[in-house]
Structure 1
Amino acid sequence: MSEISRAAIPAIHSHVFLSEGHGKSERKTWAVIWLCSAMMVAEIVGGWLFGSIALIADGLHMSTHAGALLLAALAYTYARRYADDPRFTFGTGKLGDLAGFTSAIILAMIALLIGYEAISRLFEPVPIRFAEAIPVAVLGLAVNVASVWLLSAGDHHDHGHGHRHGHHHGHDGEDEAHRIATNDGEVVLEVFEDGVPPRFRLSAESAALPAASATIETVRPSGSRQLFALKDRGDYLESIEEIPEPHAFTANIRIGERTYPVQFEEHEHAHGSAARDHNMRAAVIHVLADAAVSVLVIVGLLLARAFGWLWMDPLAGIVGACVIASWSFGLIRDTGAILLDMNPDRRMADNLRRSIENEGDHVADLHLWRLGPGHLGAIVSVETTTQRKEQFYRAKVARFRSLSHLTIEVRHVDPSVSRAA
């Protein structure tokens, strides 16, 4: 026999699952579109006035470039305007992934066209007007470099990274130090795990602490307690026992007859593809691909003019097509997986399961999917022989800050039936 328990009153929460820098990304994309559009008009008008077919051709090419970026900008705008629309059950956070997937398809088609044209020219070389072609390629490269700079301006860190511990700040394995004022002076408590299992370290600023006079007891949100004895390591006291995951608890430090509580919190964010803004990634790949092709074209043209190697120009095109195809494949793979609701972060799924099962309960079913950049949804079905309720398990997984939409089902299983099974 089992009983399914859910919260009596459903929680009301937001379904806006856009990236933290959504508005900024939208503005940057529109800025690049205006730059490309202005360059497109200048090249087409200049080519018509000066009779340069190369300038006109590059201007038309710039129009396809602006069109691809327009797709990303419109996705940002639409997602923002309809973020609160109740018709979208899980918000509009995936719209950027849909736009990224579409852009990746366009990139793949461009790679095929460039490859086809380059191979054709290997067998049927055409005359090259170096005096016009080289300046146009340099101009195109300059525009692409400016576009990359605009799209990445202000982003000096990777939003796809994750922290194992929300309180981790050190570069040598030391977690954030907690300073406690005691009757005998200030002491410092930290969790240390530099290539070793995590243990408490307690040290005094003024004088050494006798190990016999100090203990640490952790109290977790579930109410479970664990007592840690300390061993003298010279400059500090270290716990003999390892600290089990997660590192979210109240540590009661007992020194002599006094107890000092210290709160430890642990946050875990989405990792890798689960946290990336694939719409911005697609826009950046578009301009990077164009820049890479411009560099290859410039090198090919210079070698062709210097040594008469006309085959260098189509060879540069083939290499460029391969580079673009590789980037588009990676983008199709990542965005396609999100659109199909594949598990976006297997490490988080494993940690989520361990956090719930570390006190004897069983996760019967677990679904994890992406709602938007850095926002994940999860459905968890827990079987327990205790009388624990949904709120108990919500407290256990509170450290997973990227779980923006969480549904927990608790099945109370009869212990005798469980043992018989």
Structure 2
Amino acid sequence: MSDFEDSAFGAGHDHIFLGAAHEDNERRTWMVIALCSAMMVIEIVGGGLFGSLALVADGLHMSTHAGAMLIAALAYTYARRHAADRRFVFGTGKLGDLAGFTSAIVLAMIALLIAYEAISRFFSPVPIHFSQAIPIAALGLLVNLASVWLLSGDHHGHSHGHSHGHNHSHGHEQGHEGETHRIVGSAGAFVLSVFEDGVPPVFRIAPETASMTLQANAVSVTTIRPDGARQVFMFADRDGYLESKEDIPEPHAFRAIVHLPDGEYQIEFEEHEHDHDDAQAAANRDHNIRSAYVHVIADAAVSVLAIIGLLLARAFGWVWMDPLAGVIGALVIANWSWGLMRDTGGILLDMNPDKRMAEHVRHVIEDNGDAVLDLHVWRVGPGHMSAIVSVATDDAQRSPSFYRTAIKRFKGLSHVTVEVNPTLAAR
């Protein structure tokens, strides 16, 4: 007999999983489209009036630029307007990733076209009208820089749902450990640290050498706050280290008494600056605005390379510099396109961008003495993760709401479905 319970943390049952900066990013993208469209009209009309084929050609290129931005803008608008549409089982949060994947394909096609044109010019050079080409390239660069500015900030590659998925790290250590202390006793040397990686902070104790071991039931930590408040932390065995079962409340400024088999050790912890975790940033990233940003950055890079190539070709007669700049630009765009395609494709296929989240959910359930039969964690929108977990328990009193409360501690986990399977001992 199985019990099911479906719950949505922070989003309710309306399944709205849009990024925290969704409307702001939508507005920025439409502004870029307006800028590119205005420049497109000016170049095409000006080229027609003054008989400049190069100006008309750049205006047509600007139209493709605006078209690529239109993909991102329409995705934002559609996702917002249909966010509460129940036909979308898990909301419209992934629409931005679909738009980003589409833009990545467009970028790849642009890279191929640029590379083809550049290579053909190596074998069949064409005359270059420097007096027209250089100013147009410079004008295109200015438009791209303005577009970059409009899309800039934390929107293109960093976290988009700060209220949904903050993660902090204390101290200046690399990796995911915060403030670290070394304990040397008769049993050997151990490292005690505050660990935060997509979960509330916990203590971790690890031996410095693989030959050393610690039993979880023989270790505890007592924290003493400046106001005299005490809290005892018990530990659970992990793979090669021990981890506290209880969370460490903020702030992380206290005296810790570490109880080891060979005695007690006192350590002072101080509060430090907070840094973002890379895995959380990946889970929160808005790939739609990222695709728009990559597009304008790629266009700006091509403009810079074109200007350099044209200037060198005019100054030294190196006509081959212009197509060489094109090949380099094509390679840069292709690399960015691949990275965007890889990240968005993984999300569209429900690949978990934050594998540690699944590990933390599993640990919380197993620390309660239960077994995880099946567990799936995936992203349903920027800053929103979903999980399906099947649990086997010997305790007949544990309902799905019991596990919901335990899992709710994880920031960014917005939607959870729990299946409880009582064992024979619990029936």
TM (norm. structure 1) is 0.76
Give 1:48 deviation, angstroms: 1.3
Distance 1:29 1:8 in 2: 35
Q: Which has the higher mean CA deviation after the structures are superposed, 329-338 or 290-299?
A: 329-338
One-letter amino acid of the structure 2 residue matched with residue 389 of structure 1 = S
Alignment correspondent of 1:110: 110
One-letter amino acid of the structure 1 residue matched with residue 16 of structure 2 = V
Q: Is the 8 A contact 2:245 2:367 kept in 1?
A: no
How many residue pairs were aligned?
Answer: 357
Distance 1:155 1:339 in 2: 20
Q: Is the 8 A contact 1:98 1:335 kept in 2?
A: yes
Question: 5+ unaligned residues in a row in structure 2: which ranges?
Answer: 173-177, 181-191, 197-202, 206-220, 236-243, 247-252, 261-276
Distance 2:149 2:140 in 1: 14
Distance 1:416 1:170 in 2: 42
Alignment correspondent of 1:261: none
2:258 to 236, 240, 265: 240
2:409 to 371, 393, 399: 399
Secondary structure of the corresponding residue to residue 14 of structure 2: coil
Distance 1:13 1:270 in 2: 26
Q: Is the 8 A contact 1:270 1:374 kept in 2?
A: no
- What pairs with 1:343-358 in structure 2 (closer than 5 Å)? 343-358=352-367
Alignment correspondent of 2:325: 316
- The 1:159/1:377 distance shift into structure 2, 3 A limit, reads same
Give 1:401 deviation, angstroms: 2.4
- What pairs with 1:43-82 in structure 2 (closer than 5 Å)? 43-82=43-82
Q: Kindly provide the CA deviation profile for residues 371-409 of structure 1, in whole angstroms up to 9, marking residues without a partner as x.
A: 111111110001111222111111111122212211000
- What pairs with 1:183-332 in structure 2 (closer than 5 Å)? 193=194, 197=204, 201-202=223-224, 204=226, 216-217=231-232, 237-241=255-259, 271-332=280-341
Alignment correspondent of 1:250: none
Structural RMSD (CA): 3.5
Secondary structure of the corresponding residue to residue 150 of structure 1: helix
Q: Is the 8 A contact 1:162 1:270 kept in 2?
A: no
- The 1:409/1:132 distance shift into structure 2, 3 A limit, reads same
Q: Is 1:38–2:45 an aligned residue pair?
A: no
Q: Kindly provide the CA deviation profile for residues 358-383 of structure 1, in whole angstroms up to 9, marking residues without a partner as x.
A: 22211110111211111111100011
Q: Is 1:412–2:422 an aligned residue pair?
A: yes
Alignment correspondent of 2:216: none
- The 1:282/1:367 distance shift into structure 2, 3 A limit, reads same
Q: Kindly provide the CA deviation profile for residues 266-298 of structure 1, in whole angstroms up to 9, marking residues without a partner as x.
A: xx9972432111110110011000000001101
Secondary structure of the corresponding residue to residue 2 of structure 2: strand
One-letter amino acid of the structure 1 residue matched with residue 282 of structure 2 = S
Give 1:167 deviation, angstroms: 8.3
Larger Cα-atom Rg:
1
Q: Is the 8 A contact 1:300 1:316 kept in 2?
A: yes
Give 1:171 deviation, angstroms: 4.2
Give 1:192 deviation, angstroms: 6.5
- The 1:302/1:331 distance shift into structure 2, 3 A limit, reads same
Secondary structure of the corresponding residue to residue 118 of structure 2: helix
Give the percent of matched residue pairs that are identical in Structure 1 and Structure 2.
Answer: 58
One-letter amino acid of the structure 2 residue matched with residue 359 of structure 1 = N
One-letter amino acid of the structure 2 residue matched with residue 82 of structure 1 = H
Secondary structure of the corresponding residue to residue 13 of structure 2: coil
Distance 1:363 1:19 in 2: 30
Distance 1:371 1:341 in 2: 8
Q: Is the 8 A contact 2:157 2:290 kept in 1?
A: no
Give 1:344 deviation, angstroms: 2.4
Q: Is the 8 A contact 1:39 1:62 kept in 2?
A: yes
One-letter amino acid of the structure 1 residue matched with residue 381 of structure 2 = G
Give 1:239 deviation, angstroms: 2.0
Distance 2:7 2:104 in 1: 43
Q: Kindly provide the CA deviation profile for residues 44-83 of structure 1, in whole angstroms up to 9, marking residues without a partner as x.
A: 1111112211111111000000000011101101111111
One-letter amino acid of the structure 2 residue matched with residue 216 of structure 1 = Q
Alignment correspondent of 1:249: none
Give 1:414 deviation, angstroms: 2.0
One-letter amino acid of the structure 2 residue matched with residue 394 of structure 1 = R
Give 1:215 deviation, angstroms: 5.0
Distance 1:53 1:324 in 2: 26
- The 1:166/1:217 distance shift into structure 2, 3 A limit, reads farther
- The 1:336/1:157 distance shift into structure 2, 3 A limit, reads closer
One-letter amino acid of the structure 2 residue matched with residue 409 of structure 1 = E
Secondary structure of the corresponding residue to residue 28 of structure 2: helix
One-letter amino acid of the structure 2 residue matched with residue 72 of structure 1 = A
Q: Is the 8 A contact 2:157 2:286 kept in 1?
A: no
Distance 2:46 2:412 in 1: 51
TM (norm. structure 2) is 0.75
Alignment correspondent of 1:4: 2
One-letter amino acid of the structure 1 residue matched with residue 23 of structure 2 = G
- The 1:360/1:154 distance shift into structure 2, 3 A limit, reads closer
Secondary structure of the corresponding residue to residue 334 of structure 2: helix
Distance 1:10 1:25 in 2: 25
